[in-house]
Amino acid sequence: IKLLTLVRVIVVILFFTWRMRHRDSDAMWLWWISVVGDLWFGVTWLLNQITKLRPRKCVPSISVLRDHLDQPDGGSDLPLLDVFINTVDPVDEPMLYTMNSILSILATDYPVEKYATYFSDDGGSLVHYEGLQLAAEFAASWVPFCRKHCVEPRAPESYFWAKMRGEYAGSAPKEFLDDHRRMRAAYEEFKARLDGLSAAIEQRSEACNRANGKDKEECANATWMADGSTQWQGTWIKPAKGHRKGHHPAILQVMLDQPSKDPELGMAASSDHPLDFSAVDARLPMLVYIAREKRPGYDHQKKAGAMNVQLRVSALLSNAPFIINFDGDHYVNNSQAFRAAICFMLDPRDGADTAFVQFPQRFDDVDPTDRYCNHNRMFFDATLLGLNGIQGPSFVGTGCMFRRVALYSADPPRWRPDDAKEAKASRYRPNMFGKSTSFINSMPAAANQERSVPSPATVGEAELADAMTCAYEDGTEWGNDVGWVYNIATEDVVTGFRLHRTGWRSTYCAMEPDAFRGTAPINLTERLYQILRWSGGSLEMFFSRFCPLLAGRRLHPMQRVAYINMTTYPVSTFFICMYYLYPVMWLFQGEFYIQRPFQTFALFVVVIIATVELIGMVEIRWAGLTLLDWVRNEQFYIIGTTGVYPMAMLHILLRSLGIKGVSFKLTAKKLTGGARERLAELYDVQWVPLLVPTVVVMAVNVAAIGAAAGKAIVERWSAAQVAGAASGLVFNVWMLLLLYPFALGIMGRWSKRPYILFIVLVTAVAATASMYVALAGSLPYLHSGIKLV
List pLDDT tens digits, range 620-643. 888 888 889 989 998 999 999 998
Q: In this structure, are 67 and 49 located in the same domain? A: no
Quote the DSSP letter at residue 381.
Answer: I
Per-residue pLDDT at 785: 46
Segment among 123-132, 177-186, 318-327, 684-693 with least mean pLDDT: 684-693
pLDDT of residue 459: 83
The confidence score (pLDDT) of residue 450 equals 79
Q: Is 261 annotated as a binding residue?
A: no
134 Cβ neighbours under 8 A, 6+ residues apart: 99, 190, 193, 194, 197
Do residues 728 and 787 lie in contact, with contact meaning Cβ atoms separated by under 8 Å? yes
Q: Is the distance from CB of 362 to CB of 614 less than 8 angstroms?
A: no
CA distances from 664 to 235, 302, 491, 533 (A): 24, 12, 13, 5
Report if residue 477 sits inside a domain.
no
Query: Binning pLDDT at 50, 70 and 90, where does residue 417 land?
Result: confident
Sequence-ordered list of residues with C-beta below 8 angstroms from that of 679, at least 6 positions apart, any chain = 365, 367, 522
Q: b/e for 264-303, b at 16 or more Cβ within 10 A?
A: eebeeeeeeeebbbeebbbbbbbbbbbbbbbeeebebbbb
Known binding residue 122? Answer is: yes
Highest mean pLDDT among 44-58, 117-131, 703-717: 117-131
Position 272 pLDDT exceeds 80:
yes
The residue count of the chain comes to: 789
Note the pLDDT of residue 342.
97
Half-sphere exposure of residue 342, counting CA atoms within 13 Å on the CB side? 28
Beta-strand pair 251-256/286-291: antiparallel
Give the span between the Cα atoms of 516 and 664, in whole angstroms. Answer: 26
The reply to whether 607 falls in a domain is yes
Counting the structural domains of the chain, the total is 2
End-to-end CA distance of the chain: 31
Tell me the chain's radius of gyration from C-alpha atoms.
30
* 5 three-state secondary structure: helix
pLDDT of 407 over the 70 cut: yes
How far, CA to CA in Å, does 601 sit from each of 14, 32, 41, 296, 420? Answer: 11, 15, 17, 62, 64
Q: Read off the amino acid at residue 214.
A: K
Alpha-carbon span 200 to 126, nearest angstrom? 11
Residue scoring higher pLDDT (708 or 194): 194
Q: Residue 377 sits in which domain range?
A: 62-167+179-215+223-472+504-522
28 lies in a domain?
Answer: yes
* Same domain, residue pair 82 and 6: no
Amino acid 162: pLDDT: 79
- Shared domain for 364 and 466, answered yes or no, is yes
Angle, to 10 degrees, between the axis of helix 524-542 and the axis of helix 740-747?
130
Establish if 416 belongs to a structural domain.
yes
Which residue from 294, 191, 287, 282 is spatially nearest to 251, judged by alpha carbons? 294
Confidence of residue 787 (pLDDT cuts 50, 70, 90): very low
Nearest to 638 by CA among 582, 572, 709, 720: 572
Q: What CA–CA distances, in Å, run from 131 to 95, 135, 196?
A: 8, 6, 10
Which of 345, 344, 337 shows the shortest CA–CA distance to 451?
A: 345
* Cα-to-chain-centroid distance, residue 32: 38
Residue 575, pLDDT score: 86
DSSP per residue, 689-716:
GGGHHHHHHHHHHHHHHHHHHHHHHHHT
Q: Do strands 322-327 and 400-403 pair parallel, antiparallel, or not at all (unpaired)?
A: antiparallel
Q: What is the pLDDT of residue 65?
A: 94
Instruction: Annotate 150-182 with b (16+ C-beta within 10 A) or e (fewer).
Output: ebbbbbbbbbeeeeeeeeeebeeeeebeebeee
Distance CA 633, CA 612 (A): 14
How much is the pLDDT for 219?
Answer: 58
**12 and 158 co-located in one domain:** no
The rounded distance, in Å, linking the Cα atoms of 102 and 111 is 16
Same domain, 111 and 206: yes
Question: In this model, does residue 319 exceed pLDDT 70?
Answer: yes
Domain presence at residue 543: no
Q: What is the mean pLDDT of residues 668-675?
A: 58
CA nearest 249: which of 264, 261, 237, 236? 236
- DSSP secondary structure letters along 581-612: HGGGGGGSSS---SSSSHHHHHHHHHHHHHHH
566-588: per-residue pLDDT in tens? 999 999 998 888 777 666 665 55
Catalytic residues: 122, 492
Using alpha carbons only, give the angle 91, 246, 87 rounded to the nearest 5 degrees.
40
Mean pLDDT of 369-376: 92
In a domain, 530, yes or no: no
Reported as type and span, the H/E element at residue 559 is helix 557-568
Q: Which of 377, 398, 371 is nearest to 681 (CA)?
A: 371
- 525-536 in b/e form (b: 16+ CB < 10 A) is bbbbbbbbbbbb
d(CA 574, CA 78): 52
Please, which pLDDT band fits residue 491 given cuts at 50, 70 and 90?
Answer: very high
Q: Which helix (H) or strand (E) holds 735?
A: helix 719-738
**Is-contact 496 403, C-beta < 8 A?**
no
Note whether 575 and 699 are same-domain residues. Answer: yes
Q: Is the dihedral of CA 777, 780, 782, 786 positive or negative?
A: positive
| 327 annotated to a ligand binding site | yes
Between CA 172 and CA 169 the distance in angstroms is: 9
The answer to whether residues 87 and 101 touch, using CB atoms and an 8 Å cutoff, is no
Give the pLDDT confidence score for residue 788 in this predicted structure.
Answer: 41
Please report the pLDDT score of residue 556 as a whole number. 96
| Rounded average pLDDT over 534-551 | 94
Contact 530, 376 (CB under 8 A): no
pLDDT at 293 over 90: yes
SS3 assignment for 104-148: HHHCCCCCHHHEEEEEEECCCEHHHHHHHHHHHHHHHHHHHHHHH
| Phi-psi map region of 402: left, alpha, beta (phi>0 left; psi -120 to 50 alpha) | beta
The mean pLDDT value for 680-703 works out to 89
Whether residues 198 and 242 share a domain: the answer is yes
Is the residue at 540 inside a domain? no
Q: Is it the case that residue 494 has pLDDT exceeding 90?
A: yes
Residues 623 and 745 reside in one and the same domain: yes
45 and 75 co-located in one domain: no
Residue 68 has pLDDT above 80, yes or no: yes
How far is Cα 517 from Cα 101, in angstroms, rounded to an integer? 10
pLDDT for residue 786 is more than 50:
no
pLDDT above 70 coverage of the chain, percent:
91
In this prediction, residue 309 carries a pLDDT of 98
Give me the pLDDT at residue 425, please.
45
Return the amino acid letter for 787: K
Distance CA 776, CA 725 (A): 19
Claim to verify: residue 87 and residue 48 sit in the same structural domain: no
Look at residues 152, 97, 595 and name the one whose alpha carbon lies nearest to residue 337. 152
Tens of pLDDT, residue by residue over 515-538, are: 999 998 888 999 999 999 999 999
Q: CA–CA separation, 300 vs 294, rounded Å?
A: 7
Of 607 and 220, which is predicted with more confidence? Answer: 607
235 and 185 fall within a common domain = yes
Task: Walk across the sheet containing 81-87 and list its strands.
Answer: 251-256, 286-291, 115-121, 81-87, 322-327, 400-403, 354-358, 505-508
Query: What is the band of 216 on the pLDDT scale with cuts at 50, 70, 90?
Result: low
- Binned at pLDDT 50, 70 and 90, residue 164 comes out as low
CATH number at residue 331: 3.90.550.10
Q: Is the pLDDT of residue 217 over 70?
A: no
Q: What is the pTM of this model?
A: 0.92
Residue 742: inside a domain: yes
In angstroms, rounded to a whole number, what is the distance separating the alpha carbons of residues 572 and 574? 5
Residue 202's pLDDT is 94
The answer on 752 and 692 residing in a single domain is yes
Q: Is 93 annotated as a binding residue?
A: yes
Q: In the chain, what percentage of residues exceed pLDDT 90?
A: 63
